């Protein structure tokens, strides 16, 4: 009897991406970088640019069209990864032929999201290449390996999380909680164990806060006094908020005790919720030196509870949130509602009335200010105004090529650094200035790109409204904050008559006597 043989009959593989007329495939790179900011983020992106530029040079039929990234986010969910969502959108808009990423875990640690995304791109003839695993998503036989490995990486992430929890649980049971630097303390090692050591200058501030609060002063007044005294906040800022004072007043670590597991991590959703019995909590006494005595601490808690607002609604985001800037002090305005009145106030003025001379504005007033600016820019008396309004939105939506600008900036930086490495004397000093200038431009560009991407939802809403409208008059009637934000990225306010607008194309326009008042 002949020996049986089994042959796997793989389905016929799809053809790969179609090359451009110049014979090149448009390749995009995706990476998740660490939770970093400023110079560190720029350095990480610079390294990615250098790596992928060299990678592309090894493939004659590749053309790098952009680097997409997310910073400081988990791979367990897509929702909080704007760079990833932007990459997928550009793929579906036929701007990209091939996506390269270093590994499956960098692309996604959620098995379901990974497989659905890869399959979606495959349907549009777009390849995803996972370098570490040497997997090409267009090759049918790789689907099994991709499915298996994605499940492994997801399980690995869950196991790491569970192991960390178990380790922390065991430490808590032994009365050895994890210590991290915080205001009033720094972490030190004594006899092989980590614990807190009091930072005297900060401890004096903490004691002052408790003392003055027990004397009947409000947290707002205490914050103002600390600000006027020139004392820095726990995060190093010049301006104290009442919330910073409240956080110090509620911190039981100042008793010399540790309360652990106050919050529970939902790994798959990348968020935390208050621990209400889902996991064990541990109250470990006398783990480190106390700054506040028990009697004072408990009196403070009683006062805070008596003043606590029950059923306080969660913070809500509005179209103008973080986009109205006080021209006097530079703080963003915040929204407040009293009965049916919606108003916007300077954040600094709201915390410390004497530190800023700005006035609050009704939301209806802000809408009229933005309408005035829009009318001046687009000249509503001109028959072509409606067409221009629509064209500007479409132009930005169709040409928001941040990735090309990012590559250009990073290539300029790499080139300048190469010159700097071999320069001497005066030339070296000039090149140092050039490098610093390019680095500043990169950080400013990343901030602008982030704002433009965030505002896309408003541009799409405005375009939908314009399509439904028959005349310019219909459009003008529909101009509320959520529509006006499509054209106006930011507004810097002195008064309701004097302000500066930052437009969607990053140009600025001063209204009224903004310049003369600002410079007087």
DSSP 412: H
Per-residue model confidence as pLDDT tens digits over 474-494: 999 999 999 999 999 999 999
Whether 1 shows a pLDDT value over 60: the answer reads no
Between helices 425-454 and 82-92, what is the axis angle to 10°?
80
Q: How many CA atoms lie within 13 A of 13 on its CB side?
A: 12
| Sequential DSSP letters for 15-54 | P-PPPPTTS-EEEEEEEEE-S--HHHHHHHHHHHHHHHHH
Per mean pLDDT, which range of 8-17, 80-89, 334-343, 345-354 is the poorest? 8-17
pLDDT on residue 39: 54
Q: Report how far residue 22's alpha carbon sits from residue 20's, in angstroms, rounded to the nearest whole number.
A: 5
Whether 290 shows a pLDDT value over 70: the answer reads yes
Given the candidates 3.20.20.110, 3.40.190.10, 3.40.50.1390, 3.30.830.10, the CATH classification of the domain at 25-157 is 3.40.50.1390
Secondary structure (3-state) at 362: strand
pLDDT on residue 166: 60
Whether 267 shows a pLDDT value over 60: the answer reads no
Whether 74 shows a pLDDT value over 60: the answer reads no
Q: Could you tell me which CATH class the domain 185-307 is placed in?
A: alpha beta
Q: Report how far residue 439's alpha carbon sits from residue 431's, in angstroms, rounded to the nearest whole number.
A: 12
**25-33 and 98-101 strand pairing:** parallel
Looking at the chain, the whole-number percentage of residues with pLDDT higher than 70 is: 78
Per-residue model confidence as pLDDT tens digits over 360-409: 999 999 999 999 999 999 999 998 999 999 999 999 988 777 887 887 88
Residues in the chain: 520
Q: Report how far residue 146's alpha carbon sits from residue 333's, in angstroms, rounded to the nearest whole number.
A: 48
pLDDT, greater one: 13 or 453? 453
Long-range residue pairs from 226-231, CB within 8 A, at least 24 positions apart, any chain: 227/352, 227/355, 231/205
pLDDT bucket at 7, cuts 50 / 70 / 90: very low
* Cα-Cα end-to-end distance for the chain: 102
CA distances from residue 12 to 18, 134, 141 in whole angstroms, order as listed: 18, 20, 10
Whether 61 shows a pLDDT value over 90: the answer reads no
Q: How many CA atoms lie within 13 A of 290 on its CB side?
A: 13
pLDDT, greater one: 339 or 362? 362
pLDDT bucket at 359, cuts 50 / 70 / 90: very high
pTM of the model: 0.68
Sheet hosting strand 62-71, strand order edge to edge: 62-71, 25-33, 98-101, 127-130, 135-136
Long-range residue pairs from 360-367, CB within 8 A, at least 24 positions apart, any chain: 360/336, 361/333, 361/493, 361/496, 363/320, 363/335, 363/481, 365/496, 366/320, 366/324, 366/481, 366/491, 367/479, 367/480, 367/481, 367/484
Per-residue model confidence as pLDDT tens digits over 206-259: 999 999 999 999 898 898 899 889 999 998 888 888 889 999 999 888 988 877
pLDDT on residue 249: 93
CA distances from residue 470 to 182, 195, 480, 515 in whole angstroms, order as listed: 59, 69, 18, 38
Whether 269 shows a pLDDT value over 50: the answer reads no
Q: Phi then psi for 316, rounded to 5 degrees?
A: -110, 145
Per mean pLDDT, which range of 11-25, 69-83, 264-278, 285-299 is the poorest? 264-278
Between helices 425-454 and 456-468, what is the axis angle to 10°?
50
Whether 265 shows a pLDDT value over 90: the answer reads no
**All structural domains of the chain with their residue ranges:** 25-157, 185-307, 363-519
- Arithmetic mean of pLDDT over the chain: 80
Q: Phi then psi for 276, rounded to 5 degrees?
A: -115, 40
Helices (H), 108-141: 111-123
Which helix (DSSP H) or strand (DSSP E) does residue 493 occupy?
strand 488-493
pLDDT on residue 333: 93
Residues 410-436 have a mean pLDDT of: 83
Per mean pLDDT, which range of 50-54, 381-385, 456-460 is the poorest? 50-54
Whether 13 shows a pLDDT value over 80: the answer reads no
Between helices 82-92 and 111-123, what is the axis angle to 10°?
20
Sequence-ordered list of residues with C-beta below 8 angstroms from that of 449, at least 6 positions apart, any chain: 402, 405, 406
């Amino acid at each position: 009897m002949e020996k049986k043989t089994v042959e796997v009959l793989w389905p016929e593989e799809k053809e790969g991406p179609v090359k451009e007329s110049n014979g090149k495939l448009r390749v995009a790179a995706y990476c998740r970088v660490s939770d970093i900011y400023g110079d560190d983020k720029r350095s990480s992106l610079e390294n990615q640019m250098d790596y992928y530029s060299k990678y592309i040079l090894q493939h004659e039929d590749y053309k790098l069209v952009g680097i997409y990234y997310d910073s400081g986010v988990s791979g367990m969910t897509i929702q909080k990864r704007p760079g990833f969502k932007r990459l997928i959108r550009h793929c579906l808009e036929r701007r990209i032929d091939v996506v390269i990423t270093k590994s499956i875990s960098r692309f996604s640690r959620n098995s379901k999201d990974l497989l659905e995304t890869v399959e979606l791109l495959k349907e549009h003839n777009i390849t995803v290449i996972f370098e570490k695993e040497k997997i090409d998503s267009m090759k049918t036989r790789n689907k099994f390996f991709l499915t298996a490995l994605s499940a492994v990486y997801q399980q690995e992430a869950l196991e790491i999380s569970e192991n960390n929890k178990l380790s922390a649980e065991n430490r808590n049971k032994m009365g050895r909680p994890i210590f991290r630097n915080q205001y009033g303390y720094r972490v030190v090692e004594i006899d092989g164990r980590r614990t807190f050591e009091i930072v005297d200058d900060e401890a004096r501030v903490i004691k002052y806060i408790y003392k003055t609060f027990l004397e009947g002063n409000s947290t707002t007044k205490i914050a103002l006094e600390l600000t006027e005294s020139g004392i820095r906040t726990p995060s190093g800022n010049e301006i104290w908020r009442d919330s910073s004072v409240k956080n110090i007043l509620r911190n039981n670590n100042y008793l010399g005790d540790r309360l652990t597991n106050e919050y529970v991590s939902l790994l798959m959703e990348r968020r935390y919720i208050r621990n209400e019995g889902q996991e064990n909590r541990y109250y470990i006494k006398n783990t480190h030196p106390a700054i506040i005595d028990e009697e004072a601490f408990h009196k403070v808690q009683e006062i805070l509870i008596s003043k606590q607002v029950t059923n306080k609604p969660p913070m809500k985001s509005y179209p103008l949130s973080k986009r109205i800037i006080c021209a006097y002090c530079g703080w963003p305005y915040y929204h407040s509602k009293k009965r049916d009145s919606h108003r916007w106030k300077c954040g600094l003025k709201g915390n410390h009335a004497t530190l800023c001379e700005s006035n609050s504005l009704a939301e209806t007033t802000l809408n009229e200010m933005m309408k005035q600016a829009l009318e001046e820019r687009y000249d509503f008396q001109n028959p072509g105004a409606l067409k221009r309004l629509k064209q500007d939105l479409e132009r930005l939506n169709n040409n928001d090529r941040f990735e090309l600008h990012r590559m250009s900036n990073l290539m300029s930086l790499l080139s300048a650094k190469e010159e700097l490495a071999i320069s001497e004397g005066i030339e070296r000093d000039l090149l140092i200035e050039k490098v610093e200038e390019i680095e500043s431009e990169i950080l400013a560009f990343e901030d602008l790109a982030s704002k433009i991407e965030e505002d896309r939802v408003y541009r799409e809403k405005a375009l939908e409204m314009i399509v439904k409208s028959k005349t310019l008059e219909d459009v003008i009637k529909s101009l509320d904050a959520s529509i006006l934000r499509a054209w106006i990225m930011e507004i810097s306010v002195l008064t309701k008559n004097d302000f500066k607008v930052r437009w969607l194309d990053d140009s600025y326009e001063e209204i009224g006597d903004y310049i003369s008042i600002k410079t007087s």
